[in-house]
Amino acid sequence: MNTRPLIAVALAATATLASAATQTGPLEITSSMMVESRSAAADGTTRVALVKPTGVSPGDRIIFVTAYHNVGTQPLTDVVLANPLPRAIAYRSASPGSPAPEVSVDGKTFGALASLRVRALDGSTRAAGPDDVTHVRWRIARPLAPGSQGQFAFQAVLK
């Protein structure tokens, strides 16, 4: 079975969704997708840089970044930033420097991954794992003052 077209379509859809800036009222949201690029340095070490993807293969690490900016004149409360994951993408973890997100395995119930369960084919349930994650989200608990901005990121891999 050739999975390349499926992977290309999934990444194209993700890139389309994840590269656009969205403005919902005074909240501007920009999502982007990066991949790790490794290269040998002159000193013999390996350098890792984040670059825009031009092509990816199964197993490649992908970093999803969601940036936010209150462009309005009033504080915003109850801000929730969510990212659905395409089926070809497997969640791995929050990126260093980002708080742990809430995750979902069904798009409805969110929480820490360790607290979620999924139904197996035989009807039993089991602990959810990173490959079961369908959505990632963050809640900004404090009021977001005018001009405030920040970003969250998480790591995933191409299945």
How far is the C-alpha of 2 from the C-alpha of 12, rounded, in Å? Answer: 17
What is the predicted pLDDT for the residue at 70? 95
Instruction: Report helix, strand or coil for 147.
Output: coil
How far is the C-alpha of 147 from the C-alpha of 97, rounded, in Å? Answer: 21
- CATH code for position 75: 2.60.40
| Closest alpha carbon to 83 in 156, 8, 23 | 156
What's the number of domains the chain is made of?
A: 1
For the segment 59-90, what is each residue's pLDDT rounded down to a tens digit?
Answer: 988 999 999 999 999 999 999 999 999 999 99
Find residue 117's DSSP bridge partners.
127
Mean pLDDT of 137-146: 93
Tokens of 70: 């209150």
Q: Which domain holds residue 12?
A: 4-158
For the segment 98-140, what is each residue's pLDDT rounded down to a tens digit?
Answer: 888 999 999 999 999 999 999 988 999 999 999 999 999 999 9
